[in-house]
Amino acid sequence: MILILMGPPGAGKGTQAKRLVARYGIPQLSTGDMLRAARKSGSPLGQKVAAIMDAGELVSDDIVIALIEEKLDGSEASEGAILDGFPRTTAQAEALDAMLSSKGRAVDAVLSIEVSDDDVVRRNSGRRTCPTCSTSYHVEFNPPRAAGVCDNEGAALVQREDDKPEKIQARLAAYHRDTAPVLAYYQPQGLVKPVDGVGSIDDVFGRLTAAIG
């Protein structure tokens, strides 16, 4: 099963992907997490993408396509995958179709988590992340048990550089400009399932699993 989770920045893709992993037993492939891991390791790739990510702009298609191709070729994704944050441009969607069809596979569903721009700002500005295990919290909507501290690791939570107000606006602009058209790419194939992303995390999860069927 190849599922794509789409939606604007902060729609809840990562939050829901982790629950879908537990439900369906297939891995989450998040290009955002992969790029952040590359930055943390200080690799040449990480150094190359750091400024682009901090500005809220999209990393070049060839870089993210190569990251996803490597994962889809691996044994981890042999039963399927939940793609989180990929594809984000029509060129990435075309590359994904080509790499899947060469292996006799195809996208099963594109789950489009819908939230307003106002919600995007509220969710991203209140997000805090564990620097050790990457678990994401929200100061108001999904707080940790102790303020500012990860439930799992006990580490002090941090704010992502691209969650600063002006960067949120840049990410939103990139979403409307480059990523919203990806839905139009999948629409004629009947793959797009719109899911209301407003409500509790449990409510949204229920809608997603109902849409997957």
Q: Which residues participate in catalysis according to the annotation?
A: 13, 88, 127, 160, 171
What is the 8-class DSSP label of residue 184?
Answer: H
Please, are residues 87 and 96 in contact by the beta-carbon 8 Å criterion?
Answer: yes
Tokens 């944050």 identify what position?
85
CB of 154 to ligand AP5, least distance (A): 19
Residues in the chain: 213
Within 8 A by CB and 6+ apart from 70, the residues are none
Subset of 62-81 contacting ligand AP5 (CB under 6 A)? 64
When binding is defined by CB under 6 A, the residue of 2, 3, 6, 14 that contacts ligand AP5 is 14
Q: Of 212, 195, 192, nearest to 93 (Cα)?
A: 192
- For β-strands 127-129 and 136-138, DSSP reports them as antiparallel
Q: Is 150 in the site for ligand AP5 (CB under 6 A)?
A: no
Within 8 A by CB and 6+ apart from 169, the residues are 56
CA dihedral defined by 61, 67, 68, 69, rounded to 10 degrees?
A: 100
On the 0-12 / 13-18 / 19+ scale of CB atoms within 10 A, 146 is exposed
CB of 196 to ligand AP5, least distance (A): 10
CB of 180 to ligand AP5, least distance (A): 12
Q: Of 119, 61, 125, 67, nearest to 94 (Cα)?
A: 61
When binding is defined by CB under 6 A, the residue of 12, 20, 191, 207 that contacts ligand AP5 is 12
Nearest CB to ligand AP5, comparing residues 54 and 190: 54
How far, in whole angstroms, is CA 103 from its chain's centroid? 24
Q: Which residue is nearest to ligand AP5 (CB)?
A: 32
Q: Is 136 in the site for ligand AP5 (CB under 6 A)?
A: yes
Q: Is 13 in the site for ligand AP5 (CB under 6 A)?
A: yes
Stretch that binds ligand AP5, among 39-47, 74-82, 130-138, 149-157 (CB under 6 A): 130-138
Nearest CB to ligand AP5, comparing residues 10 and 111: 10
Q: Is 185 in the site for ligand AP5 (CB under 6 A)?
A: no
Amino acid identity for residue 188 in this structure: P
When binding is defined by CB under 6 A, the residue of 19, 39, 171, 193 that contacts ligand AP5 is 171
Nearest CB to ligand AP5, comparing residues 44 and 104: 44
| Contact footprint for ligand AP5 (CB under 6 A) | 7, 9-15, 31-32, 35, 52-53, 56-59, 64, 85-86, 88, 92, 123, 126-127, 136-138, 141-142, 162, 171, 199-201, 204
